[in-house]
Amino acid sequence: RLKCNNGGGIERTFSNTLMTISLNAIGMHIPDHEVKRHEFFGTYGVARDITDRKRAEEVISYQAYHDILTDLPNRMLFKDRLGLAVIQAKRKLTELAVMFVDLDRFKLVNDTLGHVKGDELLQQVALRLKDCLRRGDTLARQGGDEFTIVLPELRDRQDAKAIADKFLESLHQPFDLDGHEVHISASIGIAIYPGDGETIDELLRHADIAMYQVKALGKNGHSFYHNSMLDVSHQKIALEQSLRKALEQNELEMYYQPQVDVATGRIIGAEGLMRWNHPQRGLLSAGEFLPFAEDNGLMLPISDWMLGALCRDLLLWNAAGGENIRLSLNLSPQYLDRGDFFEKMRGALTRYGISPAQIEVEITENICIRNPQYAIDQLNKLCQLGVSVAIDDFGTGYSSLSYLHRFPIHTIKIDQSFVKEIHDEQGHYPVILAIISIARGLGLHLVAEGVETDVQARYLQANGCTTMQGYFYHRPISLPNFINVLQLERGDQLEPPRPHALHAVPHHMTAIQA
Ligand code: C2E
Ligand code: CA
Ligand code: CA
């Protein structure tokens, strides 16, 4: 505060404002030669208003501790708050909870609707989560679609459970992103101080592990950390490491699941499904390890391997008389995303002398969401080459119908989840009927997947779907077994034709299984 030296006797009025200044001042002296001293007579100084600089510094330090998108504390501030809460809890002998919240399917929304909408969704999620909390709780964004929460001064675990339930319920309401209705859910892991850990890092790590457990068990839920989960997460890390080795050590193998035309009872195609002969854990199916591959950048080398393996196997099955049997391969979105899929495919077919007409690629509806035009171009080139395209898991992804017009499609595969619903041959299953009529209307080939019972097969056939794939006919089988099946079938041709394949228990089923 500066005051005026009211020397002149003139009254002056000042308005007082408080501001931040930087001040520098120099004493002024008159040299006094007699006493050889300088006599002080005043101060000369400059006060600079640095309000703007101060404000900028505050913004910078705010940004260093907050997430710009959601305005929530970031991971640094979170750790700081958690640290304080732990000290308090130790002193007051109370418990506290750390939660790890990870949105399910966020990536899909991001890929489908774009990053701008994805960001908007994160902002809306942040607001909803915040609304569920008390004052004194800290909600932070850890990065991506991950949020962390500290609930200090917990009365008991039930409090944490109640908040987690509240989170899930509030996220359950659909989100409106400029007219797009979006549904998401979350997986929540909870660790309690001091039982589940006494340090910041331990608590966070254990909440994270509990969250992964929820993901693994089907998402959309919450779970408290438990020591037994450590084994699971160690297993996961071990799986990841050994998957890298599996490729080098030739532990992967393609299995084939026949597709049967029930009108004739004959195999008309087979889908290649990857298997891993794990040295300790035995035969693992694709669903057990490919998701890890997707998350760890292993999908590209694995897909490269798959192309080669399929071609080599196809030569063998052709030699066994299967030239008329189409091979369907699953195309990972990541593989299609990378520039050279088409070239690789064409290269492999040429190298092995395989006719493109014998190949079908199965894609899911989510395959071309990141870079649709590019994916469509690739698929078009494939079609020109003579390879056909099937939509896998039809009806379960985003915007199924709009894709049907965007690139050439030859086949749609009715997803297993719809087939599972069929329990009664006389029943009415509108989704199945709708898919069948779409296929008919567009002149597409139709395959029903996951057919497990006689009832399902009859219902599908009665309503016009005649190509089927599922355990009722064959499980996925190794190449030698598949070749056996083909040869058995060729042998059959020499016998008098059987009346109707569908009504008999498929004869290969018991003889040859995976
Ligand atoms: P998908 O393409 O939908 O494959 C069908 C899955 O259902 C396979 O699981 C198959 O074994 C299983 N299945 C077949 N018939 C029945 C049935 O009657 N009942 C039941 N409950 N299940 C049946 P799998 O082999 O674990 O594959 C899971 C997914 O992994 C596949 O789903 C596919 O998306 C992917 N995948 C499999 N092999 C490959 C591959 O070589 N490359 C790529 N990129 N993806 C693959
Ligand atoms: Ca498939
Ligand atoms: Ca499928």
Give the pair of three-digit tokens for residue 16: 């007082």
Among 16-30, 33-47, 318-332, name the most confident range.
Answer: 318-332
Percentage of residues in the chain having pLDDT higher than 90: 56
Residue bearing the CA closest to ligand 1, atom 23:
450
Whole-angstrom Cα distance, residue 82 to residue 75? 10
Average pLDDT over residues 181-200: 93
Of 243 and 129, more confident: 129
Distance from CA of residue 435 to its chain's centroid? 27
Going from N- to C-terminal start, the domains of the chain cover 1-64, 66-225, 259-513
Give the angle subtended at the CA of 89 by the CAs of 88 and 92, to the nearest 5°. 85
157-161, 169-173, 290-294, 351-355: which has the minimum mean pLDDT?
290-294
Neighbours of 328 (CB within 10 A): 25
pLDDT band per the 50, 70, 90 thresholds, residue 486: very high
**Three-state SS for 213?**
helix
Q: Looking at ligand 1, which residue's alpha carbon is closest to its atom 42?
A: 330
Atom 29 of ligand 1: nearest residue by CA position: 287
* Mean pLDDT calculated for residue range 81-107: 93
Strands 185-193 and 221-224: parallel
Give the pLDDT confidence of 416-450 residue by residue, as tens digits.
999 999 999 999 999 999 999 989 988 999 999 99
* CA 299 to ligand 2 centroid distance, Å: 16
For CA atoms 301, 302, 305, 311, give the dihedral sign: negative
Pick the CATH number of 259-513 from 3.30.1490.120, 3.40.30.10, 3.20.20.450, 3.30.70.3420: 3.20.20.450
Fold equal for 66-225 and 259-513: no
What lies within 8 Å, CB to CB, of 260 at 6+ separation is: 266, 267, 268, 467, 468, 469, 473, 474, 501, 506
Token pair, residue 41, equals 């007579």
CA–chain centroid gap for 360, Å, is 26
Q: What is the pLDDT of residues 344-401, one digit of tens each?
A: 999 999 999 999 999 999 998 766 555 667 878 888 999 999 999 999 988 776 555 6
Distance between Cα 269 and ligand 3 center (Å): 15
Pocket of ligand 1 contains residue 452 by CB under 6 Å: yes
In short, whether 415's Cβ falls inside 6 Å of ligand 1 is: no
The phi, psi pair for 385, rounded to 5°, reads -70, -25
Task: Please check whether residue 406 is in contact with residue 372, taking contact to mean a CB–CB distance below 8 angstroms.
Answer: yes
Tell the residue nearest (CA) to atom 12 of ligand 1. 450
- The single-letter DSSP state of residue 66 is B
Whether the Cβ atoms of residue 99 and residue 89 lie closer than 8 Å to each other: no
Task: State pTM to two decimals.
Answer: 0.64
Give the CATH number of domain 66-225.
3.30.70.270
If you average pLDDT over every residue of the chain, what do you get?
A: 86
Q: How far apart are CA 353 and CA 349, in angstroms?
A: 6
